[in-house]
Amino acid sequence: MDKKQLRRKILKKRDALLPAERRRKSLDIIKTIIRTDQYVKASHIMLFSSFGSEPDLSPLLKEIIKDGKHAYLPVVVKGDKKILPVEVTGLYGLTAGPYGILEPDTQKYKDVTPSLLELIITPGVAFDPARHRIGYGAGYYDRFFASLPHKVCKIGVAFDEQLVQSVPKEQHDIALDLIITDKRLL
Ligand SMILES: Nc1ncnc2c1ncn2[C@@H]1O[C@H](COP(=O)(O)OP(=O)(O)O)[C@@H](O)[C@H]1O
Ligand SMILES: [Mg+2]
């Protein structure tokens, strides 16, 4: 199956999960994230606003703030196909970006942010046990990871239904360090 076919198949499966099921599974994912050494040790953490049927990480954002850590959400710059991490202190003041995903105000973007990041909670469409990832097909995260000045821990999060035996990978695809689903940590 090529990337395009796999995206279609897995998104259909994810969209079929009931909202209550997605909420419960999202909480299970968050419980596992906050128990990892990588989370405990990190002070600057980027996560994402849930889009469509993605896991809902808003309780994690609250936890990060409660734990006295810094939280960042991505802002998409469509022309440059770039992601900018912007610090947030809560879920307020977010507005829909070019893909309809809730984003913080770009005015608050500071150039120094990327070098501070220690952990990036990464969305995706499908993942495999070798921790390879496919996204929606625009390569934003591959480009973002490649642009970072240092090695950052990257945790892919997904519902267990998004795990497949093997995802197709190309030269530019950057593998993750951990995958966390509602059922396992890989
Ligand atoms: N580091 C990079 N520099 C330039 N182009 C990139 C980079 N990473 C990915 N791309 C481009 O982005 C496009 C989409 O990448 P792909 O891996 O298929 O998407 P996704 O990771 O969202 O599933 C590809 O055409 C690829 O060439
Ligand atoms: Mg890719």
Mean pLDDT of the 106-131 span: 90
CB of 126 within 6 A of ligand 1: the answer is: no
**Ligand 1 atom 27: residue of nearest CA:** 172
Using one digit for the tens of pLDDT, what is the confidence trace for 37-73? 999 999 999 999 999 999 999 999 999 999 999 999 9
pLDDT value at position 120?
98
Atom of ligand 1 nearest to the CA of 141: 21
Distance 5 CA to ligand 1 centre (A): 17
Residue with more model confidence, 149 or 173: 173
**Ligand 1 atom 7: residue of nearest CA:** 143
> Cβ(119)–Cβ(146) under 8 Å?
no
Residue with tokens 């209550």: 20
Pairing verdict, β 82-88 and 70-77: antiparallel
DSSP 8-state class, residue 161: G
pLDDT at 110 over 80: no
pLDDT value at position 151?
86
**Ligand 1 atom 11: residue of nearest CA:** 139
**Quick one: which ligand is closest to 136's CA?**
1
Q: What is the mean pLDDT of the chain?
A: 95
SS (H, E, C) 88-108: ECCCCCCEECCCCCEECCHHH
pLDDT at 105 over 90: no
pTM: 0.96
Q: Which band of pLDDT confidence, cut at 50, 70 and 90, is reported for residue 173?
A: very high
CATH architecture of the region 3-180: 3-Layer(aba) Sandwich (3.40)
CB of 169 within 6 A of ligand 1: the answer is: no
